[in-house]
Amino acid sequence: MKRRHFLFLSSAAALSSFVPRAFAQSATVRITYVKSWPDSNLNTNIAAQILREHLGQSVELINTDAGPMWAAVATGRADATLTAWLPNTHQVYWERYKDQVINLGPITEGTWLGLAVPDYVPIDSIEDLDAHADRFGRRIVGIEAGAGIMINTQRAIEAYGIKNLRLINSSTPAMQAELARAVARKQWIVVTAWTPLGIWARFPLKQLADPKNIYGEQGHIDAVIHPSLQERSPETVEFLRRYKMPLEELQRMMLALDEGQALEMVTQEWLDRNRATVEQWVVETKAAVG
């Protein structure tokens, strides 16, 4: 019995010596995100699935809002976020926490945000909003309080001297639902909007000009980590440096979600279509960490 037990332990030890370093991780990586934001939900879940299935990394996803998301990474309560909208949207958070985090670079480039109206609304600039406040129900329909676009929209209201419309806190799904109802009835509505987002494929919308450049130029969505992650899981850091999601791919997946497809189905379809890319990221990650 003792000899058999010894053989079992010896075999187990021998097998464990052949487990690649990248597959022998134990510490859980905590990624924080905003589940109600489609880009955040998609990017975070796809990256987490690759980390789990291809790099053997335990991952915990922490759903919160924009402010707490940044604070969690800055203080080390979370290890990473894939939802840093820079340089404009989350500028206030970046200025507050930039000395406590590390930016690994863009995941998605070419983002835009601002205010949008249906294309049947005959105005083209934020400067024109206040003169038609009654037609808009004296409201700008927003999303979650604390989101970067909400902070920038409050700045826009002040910069453009908008006195007769107020910014309504809501949520991304609620904003899209209000937009759908208004478009179906040909009613006037102005919403906080951005790209990537599925509404551009669903509704005839136009971006309102921002001559004062309150919302800034095109930006990008970055991966940001707490510095301690470099020691705790260098494989995760190297993978996140390589993880990229083109804008048009996000738009396509967002439209699928809007059409009722389950998140798990949409993310798995993307992974199936991009197996070669994922394999390349994994190979490069392993090579980088030795």
Cβ(125)–Cβ(114) below 8 Å: no
Q: What is the dihedral of CA 61, 67, 71, 74, to 10 degrees?
A: 90
State residue 13's pLDDT score: 35
Question: How confident is the model at residue 8, as a pLDDT?
Answer: 34
- Give the pLDDT confidence score for residue 217 in this predicted structure: 86
Residues 124-147 as b/e (b if ≥16 CB within 10 A, e otherwise) read eebbebbebbeebeebbbbbbebb
**pLDDT, tens digit (0-9, with 9 covering 90-100), for 104-125:** 999 999 999 999 999 999 999 9
pLDDT, residue 201, reads: 87
| pTM tops 0.85, yes or no | no
Q: Which residue has the tokens 């409050």?
A: 154
Task: Divide the 290 residues of the chain into consecutive groups of 10 and give the mean pLDDT of each group.
Answer: 37 34 64 95 98 97 97 98 95 97 97 97 98 98 94 97 97 95 98 94 95 94 98 97 96 92 98 98 96
pLDDT of residue 7: 36
**110-119 as b/e, with b when 16 or more CB fall inside 10 Å?**
ebbbbbbbbe
Cβ neighbours around 26 below 10 Å, total: 8
CA-based radius of gyration for the chain: 22
Query: ∠ at Cα 104 (100, 107), nearest 5°?
Result: 130
pLDDT value at residue 290:
82
The greatest distance separating any two alpha carbons of the chain, rounded to the nearest whole angstrom, comes to 89
The pLDDT assigned to 80 comes to 98
**Strand, helix or coil at 133?**
coil
Strand partners of residue 81: 32, 224
Q: How far is CA 221 from CA 87, 107, 109, 136, in A?
A: 9, 6, 6, 31
pLDDT of residue 78: 98
Distance CA 6, CA 163 (A): 80
Task: Determine the pLDDT at residue 93.
Answer: 96
